[in-house]
Amino acid sequence: MKHILNKLEDMSIFANDFAKELNPNESSAKVVGLYGDLGSGKTTFTQSLAKYFGVEETIVSPTFVILKIYNLENQKFDRLVHIDAYRLESSEELLKLGFKEIISDPKNLVLIEWPEKVAEIMPEHTKIYIKHTEKYDSREVEVE
């Protein structure tokens, strides 16, 4: 399904709508791959989603830490795991950070920026494609 976001605030509306319909899997984590160029809004989407799930901590881009885990309170998931694979040189590096355990826990909601980088270890996941448009604060978003 394609969505046109006309301005920055529309991203949080989109994230809220997405979060409302999100439900845990029975025997594995819910994994969402965020596809899009640098500056398209993958981190911004994650920030909105985290806010929806009550995270008060500021969500920063995990580019330099690769993986960050936020504990959620009284939500349908117990943890939001934010991964940025941009700087990874191999999937092995992510496996070393406990990726297999993370994606096997149904209490985890896992958001991965640059999933292309670790395509060979990505489990079945919801794909969100974010694209720039001619207008600088407008985006085209597609969920698959």
Minimal distance in Å, beta carbon 27 to Mg ion?
29
Nearer to Mg ion, 42 or 125 (CB): 42
Nearest residue to 81 via CA among 59, 114, 52, 56: 59
Q: Does 67 bind ligand ADP (CB under 6 A)?
A: no
Instruction: Find the binder of ligand ADP among 11, 32, 55, 118 (CB under 6 A).
Output: 11
93 binds ligand ADP (CB under 6 A): no
Please select the residue that binds ligand ADP; options are 5, 29, 94, 118, rule is CB under 6 A.
5
Residue 13, interface with ligand ADP (CB under 6 A)?
A: no
Residues 14 to 43: which contact ligand ADP by CB under 6 A?
Answer: 36, 38-43
Q: Which of 18, 30, 43, 109 binds Mg ion (CB under 5 A)?
A: 43
Secondary structure of the chain in the HEC alphabet? CEEEECCHHHHHHHHHHHHHHCCCCCCCCEEEEEECCCCCCHHHHHHHHHHHCCCCCCCCCHHHCCEEEEECCCCCCCEEEEEECCCCCCHHHHHHCCHHHHHHCCCEEEEEECHHHHHHHCCCCEEEEEEECCCCCCEEEEEC
Q: Which is nearer to ligand ADP, 71 or 133 (CB)?
A: 133
Which residues bind to Mg ion, rule: CB under 5 A? 42-43, 61, 113
